[in-house]
Amino acid sequence: MGKRSSFERLPRDFYPTPAEAVKPLLAHLRPGTVFAEPCAGNGALVDHLTAAGHVCAWASDLEPQRADIHENDALTCGIGAAECYITNSPWRRDILHPLIVHLSNLAPTWLLLDADWIHTRQAAPYLSRLRRIVSVGRVKWIPDSPFTGKDNCAWHLFDVPREGAAAFYGRAA
């Protein structure tokens, strides 16, 4: 699924978010954070966050995988009653980059991405929006697989453009 893999990607980059990928983010959310999940898929990320005491104001996806997730395009959504977005969006750059702009123009936006993204030229137009990077490491995307993915991941917090460097938080021991 990654850049060093011969496996075909799943349609729409549908890889449910494992709990291990969410744990590093939790220390960066205030208790009871009210969030929106615009790329909710099967609701795995919503479930992990609500189990940790956070509140999902709404969840949507182009192709919802369960009844409590609404059908909606993340590129047209608003923020509603949520204070931020938290999502594991598709990593395809033609989808990711417009999402960064649209969502972060509306509210602070946490995105789970491949950690290498920050080191690419294509990231440059979005760096003024980047506030925090929280390292996750490698994620086991396919539950029955004995292997983790080949790419390291990180949570990236985006907001409206401003000057200044993003804060980096490495993996906890």
Task: Specify the CATH number for the domain of residue 35.
Answer: 3.40.50.150
| Within-domain flag for 7 | no
Range of the domain at 28: 17-168
- What is the C-alpha to C-alpha distance for residues 73 and 95, in angstroms, rounded to an integer? 11
**Confidence band of 151 (pLDDT split at 50, 70, 90):** confident
Strand order in the sheet with 167-169: 70-71, 55-61, 34-37, 84-87, 109-114, 152-158, 130-138, 167-169
| Domain-embedded: residue 102 | yes
Residue 21 lies in a domain: yes
Q: For 117-122, which contacts have Cβ atoms below 8 Å and span 24 or more sequence positions?
A: 117/91, 117/156, 118/154, 118/156, 122/93, 122/97
Residue 88 lies in a domain: yes
Percentage above 90 pLDDT, the chain: 77
Q: What is the pLDDT of residues 59-100, one digit of tens each?
A: 999 999 999 999 999 999 999 999 999 999 998 999 999 999
* pTM for this entry: 0.88
The count of domains in the chain is 1
pLDDT of residue 1: 41
Q: Where are the alpha helices (DSSP H) in 35-92?
A: 44-51
